[in-house]
Amino acid sequence: MPPSNIVEGPRVATWHCPSCRESVPRLLPNGSANRVTLPPERTMLPDDDIRAACERVQGLRAPEVCYACDQAFQELLGTLVRPPAEEGDARGEPGLNDTGVVGALVPLAERGTQLLIFNVIAGELRCTEIEYLTDFDPDRLTYPGSRGAIAPRIWELYERHLAELHAGSDSPL
Ligand SMILES: [Zn+2]
């Protein structure tokens, strides 16, 4: 029994987000729905090689994710990453041509989100790693200037994505 001077608040039903695989509230505290429909530009960089790699990922796509997952997608998509085995502070090393980019996030129904990392190998953009979003080590995220050399193709994708983000933030909602 709650004390008589408080009113029991409304209960918010939960749903299962296919991306983080958590049981999350259906509504956000501001009352809007905690389900975000993902248009392609929020899940992959606009590039034919990246699109082709996404199409090769097997599994039913989840059309909606929770708000927190959508925010994580926006932070990760187009971000530069360093190789998984690299230890210590990347800034202490000479420039290497092994910086990759998060090219796509593919939310799979009931299986979680797969994160696709791309690198340039022999001049071609290739998907070099696929891992579950929940297993990805955020310490691998990096920034231009902290790693030295970046393959031109990766740099182009990164710059174009940034330009699109900036263009989008200036437009009226
Ligand atoms: Zn989620």
DSSP string, 89-100: -GGGSPP-S--E
**From the CA of 123, how far away is ligand 1's center (Å)?**
35
pLDDT tens-digit series, residues 78-123: 999 988 776 554 444 444 567 899 999 999 998 899 999 999 888 8
Per-chain mean pLDDT for the chain: 86
**Distance between CA atoms of 106 and 60, rounded to whole angstroms?**
10
**From the CA of 163, how far away is ligand 1's center (Å)?**
27
- Residues 6 or more apart whose CB falls under 8 angstroms from that of 94 comprise 148
The whole-model pTM stands at 0.82
pLDDT tens-digit series, residues 72-90: 999 999 999 988 776 554 4
The values of phi and psi at residue 5, to 5°, are: -90, 10
Determine the 3-state secondary structure of 148 from DSSP: coil
Please tell me the predicted confidence (pLDDT) of residue 84.
77
- Residues 6 or more apart whose CB falls under 8 angstroms from that of 85 comprise none
C-alpha dihedral, 50 to 104 to 152 to 158, nearest 10° = 140
**From the CA of 95, how far away is ligand 1's center (Å)?**
36
**From the CA of 85, how far away is ligand 1's center (Å)?**
28
Determine the 3-state secondary structure of 128 from DSSP: strand
Determine the 3-state secondary structure of 27 from DSSP: strand
Q: Give the percent of the chain with pLDDT over 90.
A: 60
Q: What is the number of other CB atoms lying within 10 angstroms of the CB of residue 148?
A: 14
**From the CA of 153, how far away is ligand 1's center (Å)?**
31
CB 77 within 8 A of CB 31: no
26 Cα distance to chain centroid? 22
